[in-house]
Amino acid sequence: MRNSTVWAGLLGVEGTVVERVEFDGEAETLVAHVRPARAATGRCGVCRRRCPGFDQGEGRRRWRALDLGLFRALLEADAPRVACPGHGVVVASVPWARHGARHTVVFDDTVAWMATRTSKSTLEQLLRIAWRTVGAIVTRVVDEGVAARDPLAGLARIGIDEISYKKGHRYITVVVDHDTGRLVWAAPGRDRKTLGAFFAALGETRCAAITHVTADAARWIADEVAAHCPNAIRCADPFHVVAWATDALDEVRRDTWNAARKGGLAAHARDLKHARYAMWKNPENLTDRRRTYQRVAAPEHVIALMAQAEALALPDDGARAVGG
């Protein structure tokens, strides 16, 4: 294996020729003089298209690489400029770093990975960089990830909800992809206009590909979904279905209790009064005492609950409950 190949491997760079390496023992620094391999030369730093050369730019530049043992490692290379038909005069792309970056791709990726898994001070000390630099690097890595992977591609089953913050004074509308479990879109506000921006970003074709939308029963969500997603079935999300059923059950129990009391069925009324928690639970999770309450309450409430549930049916056609 040639020396250059070994150094390129150690420095974590590809498409790069390592011309020579210098050590500065006192500064504990290693400087690798590099140049792009032939196929990577003369390309626009933004779009990577091959372009005519423009000038030598501002001479040699340095990029920080991951440390090698206890040594800080730097790459040094020319930074010529090219004239891109699309982007004008820009610094030519280099295979070892992102456009405009002062660190190598591997360094950037390591910072971004660590930022999601470790503390600020650990990251700062281990990689010897300022927190401000971490922010710039993470932004660059995320931008590249977003550009490479469209989060709105391939959506079929989505969930729409709102999250409150500032003690319920402000809201964010969020959209999740049920198939991947990922958050795919979010924006401040909770009204038709806010949600309309999501459907605008999605575009007509991809809106038509949406098959299911879960949400609460909010009218603004229902209207906006109906306006944009002709093929989507709207589903009530399980959280709200359970909340509605619990409320309905409570109402029925209260009415039945009142009726029993007024009808002079004191013992029956007492049983019903204490049956509240029993009715919320599945029979297999009940204690013996509560099981008794549930049996007492059962015949009336089941019938009444059905009537109640009918009255509570979702306001629009096409809405139905699904299991989570």
Residue from the set 86, 88, 263, 324 that interacts with Zn ion by CB under 5 A: 86
For the CB of residue 90, give the shortest distance to Zn ion in the complex, in Å: 7
154 contacts Zn ion (rule: CB under 5 A): no
197 contacts Zn ion (rule: CB under 5 A): no
Residue from the set 13, 40, 75, 84 that interacts with Zn ion by CB under 5 A: 84
**222 phi and psi angles, rounded to 5 deg:** -60, -45
Which CB, 83 or 172, lies closer to Zn ion? 83
For the CB of residue 37, give the shortest distance to Zn ion in the complex, in Å: 20
91 contacts Zn ion (rule: CB under 5 A): no
Query: Shortest CA distance to 8 belongs to which of 93, 68, 98?
Result: 68
Can you name the residues that pair with 234 across neighbouring β-strands? 213
Query: Shortest CA distance to 37 belongs to which of 89, 105, 96?
Result: 96
Q: How far apart are CA 278 and CA 303, in angstroms?
A: 17
| Stretch of 13-21, 80-88, 185-193, 203-211 contacting Zn ion, by CB under 5 A | 80-88
Letters for 43-62 (x = contact with Zn ion by CB under 5 A, - = none) are -x-xx---------------
Q: How far apart are CA 312 and CA 288, in angstroms?
A: 32
Residue from the set 33, 35, 87, 212 that interacts with Zn ion by CB under 5 A: 87
Q: Which residues ranging from 15 to 44 are in contact with Zn ion (CB under 5 A)? A: 44
82 contacts Zn ion (rule: CB under 5 A): no
Binders of Zn ion: how many residues, by CB under 5 A? 6
Burial of residue 231 (CB within 10 Å: 0-12, 13-18, 19+) is: exposed
172 contacts Zn ion (rule: CB under 5 A): no
Query: Shortest CA distance to 102 belongs to which of 59, 61, 158, 41?
Result: 61
**Looking at this protein, which amino acid is placed at residue 161?**
D
Which CB, 46 or 172, lies closer to Zn ion? 46
Q: Are strands 320-321 and 233-236 parallel, antiparallel or unpaired?
A: parallel
324 contacts Zn ion (rule: CB under 5 A): no
Q: Which two tokens stand for residue 140?
A: 């660059």
List of residues contacting Zn ion (CB under 5 A): 44, 46-47, 84, 86-87
